[in-house]
Amino acid sequence: MKIFGLALPVLILFAAGSVARAAGPDLAEAKDNYMTFCVKCHGATGQGNGPAAATLHTKPRNYTDCALMAKIPDDTLFKAIKDGGASVGLSPEMPSWSKGFDDDEIRGLVAYVRTFCKK
């Protein structure tokens, strides 16, 4: 069966892919990305105490500080990861990851970072 020139199975696959994207970020992938690229500074538990943190002029963000994290919108976290800390008035030592992660991966990192705050 064809609808608007597309075979029905193609249409079904397209719709299924749209549903999967709408389900939210892939936290498993985000955790892998975090553990590979972010843990060096932000630490495995998100406390800003990774092995490279001691070499930085500004201590990395402590994602377990729920009071502070509640004041930071997701858009700000997204921009800081994508364009670097200086883009949101934070430390220029936080690099831009725009060439390392696509927007969906950055949204996943934002969601994963939010898991460190346990109320």
Each residue of 38-88: pLDDT tens digit? Answer: 999 999 999 999 999 999 999 999 999 999 999 999 999 999 999 999 999
Domain limits of the chain?
25-114
**Nearest-CA neighbor of 9 among 21, 1, 17?**
1
C-alpha 67/C-alpha 85 separation (Å) is 20
* Homologous superfamily of 25-114: Cytochrome c-like domain (1.10.760.10)
C-alpha 8/C-alpha 116 separation (Å) is 43
The confidence score (pLDDT) of residue 119 equals: 72
Contacts of 52 (CB under 8 A, 6+ apart): 40, 41
| SS3 at position 98 | coil
Mean pLDDT within 92-114: 97
The confidence score (pLDDT) of residue 13 equals: 43
Q: Is pLDDT at 6 greater than 80 in this prediction?
A: no
The confidence score (pLDDT) of residue 118 equals: 85
Distances in Å between the alpha carbon of 70 and those of 33, 50, 73, 77?
Answer: 23, 22, 7, 11
The confidence score (pLDDT) of residue 22 equals: 57
Identify the sign of the CA torsion 48, 54, 56, 58. Answer: positive
**Higher pLDDT among residues 101 and 3, named by residue:** 101
The confidence score (pLDDT) of residue 86 equals: 97
